[in-house]
A and B are shown apart, each in its own frame.
Chain A
Amino acid sequence: MKILVPVKRVVDFNVKVRVKADHTGVETANVKMSMNPFDEIAVEEAVRLKEQGAASEIVAVSIGVAQCQETIRTALAMGADRGILIETRVETQPLAVAKLLKALVERESPGLVILGKQAIDDDCNQTGQMLAALLGWAQGTFISKAKIGDGKAEVVREVDGGLESLVLKMPAVLTADLRLNEPRYASLPNIMKAKKKPIETLTPEALGVDVTPRIATLKVEEPPKRKAGGKVAGVAELVDKLKNEAKVI
């Protein structure tokens, strides 16, 4: 079975993002970029499935500018077998990404697509669901456990207030939650081996997908600065303020 793992290049989670001066988005020039952390978990899961013998090939795919190749290369260093870069300068939105992935699924015929549950830049949390809908496949979102059996996948989902166990018919789309696994660090020998693994470059046009954004961003603003708090002399004053100023008790 082949597994397709989409990986997104995002601003590194350690970076304190700054809004661009013209308020059209956040500054990404000269900012450290990394693989979306949830996608790392997705890659790790695919690699583990391959190590267990449940998968035979892992294809990592990224959509975006040429530098996304480095994100793919990181996935290859973690254990993916080959990569596909769909190169575009358009800032693709979830529906466009889902359509591109659908086109790739039709071309590659994987048995499983594992995505991160969301990307930490736009926090959309839509792509996996849209892809499953477009393909008409079963979906297991926010998973913290996956067991691949004969023609079916048993997954545990992290839902509000607890865990939900599902059996999905394969092929299926899975989206990884934080507790699914702890991704490995790519070792230097594997990083060097990844250099020799192939990366194919495609374009949205070649796949016949229109990626024109359908949502326009009007303005991006910093959240309001938190005002400095006040100090209280003791419990009595605190209770008084909670009662009479904040009116919460």
Chain B
Amino acid sequence: MNFELSEEQRIFRDQVRAFAECHLKGGALARAHSGSYPRDIARLMAANGLFGIALPEAVGGQGGALLDSVIALEEVSLACPRSGDVIQAGNFGAIRTFAEYATADQRQRYLKPLLAGEMLISVAMTEPDAGSAVTDLKSALKADGEGWRLSGSKVFVTNSEEADLFLVYCRYGPGVEGIGSVLLERGAEGFEIGRPSQYMNGESWCPLFFDGVYVPPENVLLGRGGFKKQISGFNVERLGNATRAQALGRYCFNQARDYALSRQQFGRPLCEFQGIQWKFAEMEIQLEAARLLLYRAATRAETGLPSAQDTSIAKAMCNLAGHFAANESMQVMGGMGYSADTLVEWCLRKTRGWLIAGGSLEMMKNRIAEGIFERRFSQRPPRAGARAGADG
């Protein structure tokens, strides 16, 4: 077993770090506090080969592995936490599922602008009555000539205020087998984007309403039976979520470490108090463990998509470690940590969201337990006369 990055991975990490230090570190606070998606940063990253890192060169990607995108996401987040969301959008989010399953024609139309940072794609999965129980989603397609008509609604979609394209989970028929997905462009007739609400992290989300929106056949991404594939793609999104959680925890740790070395109370620096030292030891243990699980999940993703079990373990651990470190760092930094003059309080708010987003901590634990017992545990109430385990 080798715990070292390869020479190429180290060189790539150093190049990304140099880029992030030079172009992203300045303005990190303002970027986090602005709330809107930084398109200028997206274009800059795309121009520097930081979009589509794990996609093949033949489709306009960089030809790297999943671990390469994890490394880039870490380095960028450590210099500018908010810019990590841009690496997420250009590598881990809906773009990844899209690139995996898109037809040649769909790639032709959308992948180039997406990889150039000109276009932004969001995933619309969650519905008012289908959160953790995502297979309960109701947004449905009705056949209309060659194409389809989509009706329903979505909530909590990240970047819904600015996205140009939406990867919408919807159903062609009943059951898990009936679920697939389509691509909707912003501005399509019958597609309404509602009033924005604010998340605790300062970002906004808008409810999406589909009122018989026409979906031409060429905009079907996955047909009936596509749910499993979509979730495989979504596991990459989850690892991006895990990477950012862990990296933001480390960002806070770094801030708090500098602070503990310089801030004096009772005539000595904070780092000389054992009560403070142990906080750092605990953070270090959590963050290092999280990172190893994250790297393992990414490294074992031979086909480019990580396994559900590895992903669930890594995501749960990274989400907890990141949030823990942000919270402890705030404590170390006292009133300074709690104030918006540093990014620690923002990171705390941000890492809190990842315990819910992308499959909550509880749902990750459910999945891990299924792996342990090698059984499906249906979360649904038992039906009279039927054994549990039929679906979601």
Residues of chain A touching chain B, judged by Cβ–Cβ distance below 8 Å, are: 14, 34, 69-70, 73-74, 77, 185-189, 191-192, 194-195
Contacts and interface: CB of A to CB of B under 8 A. Distances in A.
Contacts of A188: 12, 49, 53, 62-64, 68
Given A14-B21, A192-B63, A185 B8 contact: no
A100 to B, nearest CB: 24
Contact of A186 (B11, B53, B63, B64): B11
B245 to A, nearest CB: 24
B15 A191 contact: yes
Contacts of B8: 73, 191-192, 194-195
Contacts of B57: 189
A-B CB proximity, top 9 nearest: A187-B49, A188-B62, A185-B15, A188-B64, A185-B19, A186-B15, A191-B8, A191-B11, A191-B12
The interface centre, meaning the residue of B15, B21, B53 with most chain A CB atoms within 10 A of its CB, is: B15
Nearest to B15: A185
Interface residues of B, number: 19
B7 A70 contact: yes
Contacts of B7: 69-70, 73, 195
Contact of A73 (B11, B49, B53, B64): B11
A14 B10 CA distance: 16
A74 B14 contact: yes
A154 to B, nearest CB: 30
B18 interface: yes
B108 interface: no
A187 B62 contact: yes
A74 B12 CA distance: 9
Contacts of B18: 34, 185
A246 B10 CA distance: 51
Nearest to A12: B14
B198 interface: no
A73 B10 CA distance: 11
Nearest to B14: A34
Nearest to A67: B7
A81 B67 CA distance: 27
A189 B18 CA distance: 17
Contacts of B64: 188, 192
